[in-house]
Protein backbone atom coordinates (compact mmCIF):
# COMPACT_ATOMS: atom_id res chain seq x y z
CA UNK A 1 0.00 0.00 0.00
CA UNK A 2 1.17 3.38 -0.78
CA UNK A 3 1.79 6.00 1.70
CA UNK A 4 -1.22 7.84 2.81
CA UNK A 5 -0.52 11.47 2.29
CA UNK A 6 -2.54 12.90 5.06
CA UNK A 7 -0.76 10.78 7.63
CA UNK A 8 2.72 11.74 6.52
CA UNK A 9 4.48 14.42 8.48
CA UNK A 10 4.54 17.91 7.17
CA UNK A 11 7.88 17.93 5.51
CA UNK A 12 7.84 14.53 3.89
CA UNK A 13 8.04 14.44 0.13
CA UNK A 14 4.67 13.05 -0.67
CA UNK A 15 2.59 14.86 1.91
CA UNK A 16 0.38 17.73 1.13
CA UNK A 17 0.77 19.31 4.55
CA UNK A 18 2.97 22.33 4.78
CA UNK A 19 4.44 23.74 7.90
CA UNK A 20 6.16 27.01 8.46
CA UNK A 21 9.31 25.16 9.44
CA UNK A 22 9.94 24.03 5.95
CA UNK A 23 10.14 27.46 4.52
CA UNK A 24 11.76 29.33 7.32
CA UNK A 25 14.71 27.13 8.14
CA UNK A 26 17.13 27.03 5.25
CA UNK A 27 19.57 24.21 4.82
CA UNK A 28 17.50 21.88 6.94
CA UNK A 29 15.30 20.65 4.20
CA UNK A 30 17.51 17.69 3.58
CA UNK A 31 17.49 16.65 7.20
CA UNK A 32 13.87 17.36 7.95
CA UNK A 33 12.40 15.73 4.98
CA UNK A 34 14.38 12.79 3.79
CA UNK A 35 12.79 11.39 0.70
CA UNK A 36 11.04 8.22 1.62
CA UNK A 37 11.26 6.59 -1.78
CA UNK A 38 14.41 7.66 -3.41
CA UNK A 39 13.75 6.93 -7.02
CA UNK A 40 14.23 10.59 -7.64
CA UNK A 41 16.26 12.69 -5.26
CA UNK A 42 14.42 15.65 -6.59
CA UNK A 43 11.26 14.49 -4.95
CA UNK A 44 11.38 17.16 -2.25
CA UNK A 45 8.51 19.15 -0.85
CA UNK A 46 10.23 22.38 -1.70
CA UNK A 47 8.18 24.09 -4.37
CA UNK A 48 10.68 24.86 -7.08
CA UNK A 49 8.10 25.89 -9.64
CA UNK A 50 5.01 26.51 -7.67
CA UNK A 51 2.82 27.12 -10.64
CA UNK A 52 3.35 23.63 -12.07
CA UNK A 53 0.23 21.49 -12.33
CA UNK A 54 0.08 18.83 -9.67
CA UNK A 55 0.57 15.17 -10.49
CA UNK A 56 -1.73 12.31 -9.66
CA UNK A 57 -0.30 12.03 -6.20
CA UNK A 58 -2.11 15.14 -5.13
CA UNK A 59 -5.54 14.04 -5.96
CA UNK A 60 -6.10 13.26 -2.32
CA UNK A 61 -5.06 16.68 -1.17
CA UNK A 62 -7.45 19.36 -0.07
CA UNK A 63 -8.01 22.13 -2.59
CA UNK A 64 -6.32 24.55 -0.23
CA UNK A 65 -2.98 22.85 -0.70
CA UNK A 66 -3.10 22.28 -4.37
CA UNK A 67 -1.59 25.63 -5.14
CA UNK A 68 1.36 25.14 -2.82
CA UNK A 69 2.10 21.51 -3.35
CA UNK A 70 4.30 20.57 -6.21
CA UNK A 71 5.38 16.98 -6.38
CA UNK A 72 6.72 17.05 -9.84
CA UNK A 73 8.93 14.17 -10.74
CA UNK A 74 9.41 15.67 -14.15
CA UNK A 75 12.12 18.12 -13.13
CA UNK A 76 15.43 17.54 -14.81
CA UNK A 77 18.23 16.48 -12.49
CA UNK A 78 20.47 19.41 -13.12
CA UNK A 79 21.12 20.32 -9.52
CA UNK A 80 20.76 17.37 -7.20
CA UNK A 81 21.13 19.40 -4.01
CA UNK A 82 21.65 23.13 -3.99
CA UNK A 83 22.78 23.19 -0.37
CA UNK A 84 25.49 20.63 -0.95
CA UNK A 85 26.72 22.39 -4.05
CA UNK A 86 26.79 25.64 -2.13
CA UNK A 87 28.80 23.98 0.59
CA UNK A 88 31.15 22.60 -1.98
CA UNK A 89 31.80 25.99 -3.48
CA UNK A 90 33.25 27.31 -0.20
CA UNK A 91 37.05 27.21 -0.51
CA UNK A 92 39.01 25.03 1.81
CA UNK A 93 40.91 26.91 4.52
CA UNK A 94 42.78 25.94 7.64
CA UNK A 95 42.04 27.19 11.12
CA UNK A 96 44.61 29.27 12.95
CA UNK A 97 45.94 26.30 14.84
CA UNK A 98 46.15 23.61 12.24
CA UNK A 99 46.74 21.05 14.90
CA UNK A 100 43.23 21.42 16.21
CA UNK A 101 41.78 19.90 13.06
CA UNK A 102 42.52 16.23 13.11
CA UNK A 103 42.26 13.88 16.00
CA UNK A 104 43.88 10.81 14.34
CA UNK A 105 47.36 10.34 15.74
CA UNK A 106 49.09 9.66 12.44
CA UNK A 107 49.35 13.29 11.47
CA UNK A 108 50.46 14.60 14.86
CA UNK A 109 54.16 14.79 13.99
CA UNK A 110 53.65 17.28 11.21
CA UNK A 111 51.50 19.53 13.33
CA UNK A 112 53.77 19.71 16.33
CA UNK A 113 56.01 21.94 14.30
CA UNK A 114 53.05 23.99 13.17
CA UNK A 115 53.19 27.31 14.93
CA UNK A 116 51.40 30.54 14.52
CA UNK A 117 52.62 32.63 11.69
CA UNK A 118 54.28 35.46 13.53
CA UNK A 119 53.87 37.94 10.74
CA UNK A 120 50.11 37.54 10.72
CA UNK A 121 49.93 37.81 14.46
CA UNK A 122 52.07 40.90 14.33
CA UNK A 123 49.79 42.48 11.78
CA UNK A 124 46.74 41.58 13.79
CA UNK A 125 48.14 43.12 16.93
CA UNK A 126 49.28 46.21 15.08
CA UNK A 127 45.82 46.67 13.69
CA UNK A 128 44.35 46.31 17.12
CA UNK A 129 46.80 48.83 18.47
CA UNK A 130 45.86 51.29 15.78
CA UNK A 131 42.21 50.74 16.51
CA UNK A 132 42.73 51.51 20.19
CA UNK A 133 44.63 54.63 19.30
CA UNK A 134 41.87 55.90 17.06
CA UNK A 135 39.27 55.27 19.72
CA UNK A 136 41.26 57.08 22.35
CA UNK A 137 41.87 60.01 20.01
CA UNK A 138 38.17 60.31 19.30
CA UNK A 139 37.31 60.29 22.98
CA UNK A 140 40.02 62.81 23.83
CA UNK A 141 38.85 65.08 21.03
CA UNK A 142 35.29 65.03 22.29
CA UNK A 143 36.41 65.74 25.81
CA UNK A 144 38.49 68.71 24.72
CA UNK A 145 35.58 70.11 22.76
CA UNK A 146 33.45 69.81 25.88
CA UNK A 147 36.08 71.64 27.91
CA UNK A 148 36.08 74.55 25.50
CA UNK A 149 32.31 74.63 25.52
CA UNK A 150 32.25 74.74 29.30
CA UNK A 151 34.57 77.71 29.31
CA UNK A 152 32.40 79.49 26.76
CA UNK A 153 29.30 78.89 28.79
CA UNK A 154 30.99 80.10 31.94
CA UNK A 155 32.01 83.31 30.20
CA UNK A 156 28.48 83.81 28.88
CA UNK A 157 27.00 83.31 32.32
CA UNK A 158 29.31 85.93 33.78
CA UNK A 159 28.40 88.42 31.09
CA UNK A 160 24.71 87.88 31.73
CA UNK A 161 25.26 88.26 35.43
CA UNK A 162 26.92 91.63 34.90
CA UNK A 163 24.05 92.77 32.73
CA UNK A 164 21.57 91.81 35.39
CA UNK A 165 23.58 93.65 38.02
CA UNK A 166 23.60 96.83 35.99
CA UNK A 167 19.89 96.55 35.43
CA UNK A 168 19.35 96.03 39.09
CA UNK A 169 21.29 99.15 39.93
CA UNK A 170 19.26 101.17 37.44
CA UNK A 171 16.05 99.86 38.85
CA UNK A 172 17.32 100.68 42.29
CA UNK A 173 17.68 104.28 41.27
CA UNK A 174 14.18 104.20 39.82
CA UNK A 175 12.83 102.78 43.03
CA UNK A 176 14.54 105.50 44.99
CA UNK A 177 12.99 108.12 42.77
CA UNK A 178 9.66 106.51 43.16
CA UNK A 179 10.10 106.65 46.87
CA UNK A 180 10.79 110.34 46.74
CA UNK A 181 7.80 110.89 44.52
CA UNK A 182 5.60 108.98 46.91
CA UNK A 183 6.92 110.98 49.81
CA UNK A 184 6.25 114.23 48.01
CA UNK A 185 2.78 113.04 47.16
CA UNK A 186 1.98 112.22 50.72
CA UNK A 187 3.24 115.60 51.85
CA UNK A 188 1.05 117.30 49.30
CA UNK A 189 -1.95 115.30 50.43
CA UNK A 190 -1.32 116.29 54.00
CA UNK A 191 -1.12 119.89 52.96
CA UNK A 192 -4.38 119.58 51.10
CA UNK A 193 -6.13 118.05 54.05
CA UNK A 194 -4.81 120.70 56.33
CA UNK A 195 -5.96 123.41 53.93
CA UNK A 196 -9.36 121.82 53.67
CA UNK A 197 -9.49 121.89 57.39
CA UNK A 198 -8.26 125.46 57.83
CA UNK A 199 -10.19 127.32 55.12
CA UNK A 200 -13.73 126.84 56.48
CA UNK A 201 -12.53 127.85 59.95
CA UNK A 202 -11.00 130.98 58.47
CA UNK A 203 -14.28 131.72 56.76
CA UNK A 204 -16.11 131.33 60.02
CA UNK A 205 -13.67 133.59 61.78
CA UNK A 206 -13.92 136.07 58.91
CA UNK A 207 -17.65 136.13 59.15
CA UNK A 208 -17.41 136.85 62.86
CA UNK A 209 -15.36 139.98 62.19
CA UNK A 210 -17.17 143.32 61.65
CA UNK A 211 -17.85 144.28 58.05
CA UNK A 212 -15.04 146.79 57.81
CA UNK A 213 -12.25 144.36 58.55
CA UNK A 214 -13.45 141.37 56.67
CA UNK A 215 -10.87 139.90 54.31
CA UNK A 216 -11.95 138.54 51.01
CA UNK A 217 -12.68 134.83 50.88
CA UNK A 218 -9.55 132.76 50.74
CA UNK A 219 -8.93 130.85 47.57
CA UNK A 220 -5.72 129.38 46.30
CA UNK A 221 -6.89 129.36 42.76
CA UNK A 222 -6.34 133.05 42.35
CA UNK A 223 -4.42 134.22 39.32
CA UNK A 224 -1.02 135.65 39.98
CA UNK A 225 -0.32 138.24 37.29
CA UNK A 226 3.14 138.94 38.67
CA UNK A 227 4.34 135.49 37.71
CA UNK A 228 3.10 135.70 34.14
CA UNK A 229 5.66 136.92 31.61
Partner 1 sequence: MASNKGVANWNQETKARLNDKITSNVNDVGSLLRQIIRGSKSPDFLAQAAKNFASQESYIHNSHETMRKMDLIRSQLEFQITTQLGGCKKRLNSIVLVNGGL
Per DSSP, 64 falls in state T
Judged by CB under 8 A, the stretch of 6-14, 41-49, 89-97, 178-186 that binds partner 1 is 178-186
CB of residue 214 to partner 1, shortest distance in Å: 25
Applying the rule CB under 8 A, the residues between 91 and 130 that interact with partner 1 are 125, 128-130
- Rank residues 67 and 157 by Cβ distance to partner 1 and give the closer one: 157
CB of residue 142 to partner 1, shortest distance in Å: 8
Q: Are 14 and 8 in contact (CB under 8 A)?
A: yes
Interface residue with partner 1, options 174, 183, 209, 218 (CB under 8 A): 174
CB of residue 177 to partner 1, shortest distance in Å: 10
Q: Are 66 and 58 in contact (CB under 8 A)?
A: yes
Measured over the CA atoms of residue 188, residue 189, residue 191 and residue 192, the dihedral's sign is positive
What's the full length of the chain, in residues? 229
Print the binding letters for residues 125-164 with partner 1: x by CB under 8 A, - otherwise. Answer: x--xxxxxx-xxx-xx--xx-xx--xx-xx--xx-xx--x
CA dihedral (166, 168, 174, 177) in degrees, to 10, reads -100
- Rank residues 66 and 111 by Cβ distance to partner 1 and give the closer one: 111
Q: Which of 37, 6, 30, 23 is nearest to 68 (CA)?
A: 23
Cβ-based neighbours of 111, under 8 Å, separated by 6 or more = 98, 99, 102
Range 7-10 contact pairs with CB under 8 angstroms and sequence separation of 24 or more: 8/36
For the chain, the first-to-last Cα distance in angstroms comes to: 141
Applying the rule CB under 8 A, the residues between 199 and 228 that interact with partner 1 are 220
Applying the rule CB under 8 A, the residues between 58 and 77 that interact with partner 1 are none
* Binding of partner 1 by 85 (CB under 8 A): no
3 state DSSP class of 181: helix
3 state DSSP class of 103: coil
CB of residue 50 to partner 1, shortest distance in Å: 55
Residues in the interface with partner 1 (CB under 8 A) total 40
* Binding of partner 1 by 168 (CB under 8 A): yes
Residues that bind partner 1 (CB under 8 A): 125, 128-133, 135-137, 139-140, 143-144, 146-147, 150-151, 153-154, 157-158, 160-161, 164-165, 167-168, 171-172, 174-175, 178, 181-182, 185, 188-189, 192, 220
Amino acid sequence: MGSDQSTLPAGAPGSNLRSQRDEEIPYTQYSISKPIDTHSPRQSPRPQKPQRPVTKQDKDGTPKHEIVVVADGQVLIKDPDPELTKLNTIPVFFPILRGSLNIPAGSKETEILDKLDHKQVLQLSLRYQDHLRQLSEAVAFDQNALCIRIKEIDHTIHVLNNTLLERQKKYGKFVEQFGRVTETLSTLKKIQKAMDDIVPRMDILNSLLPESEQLESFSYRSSRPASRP
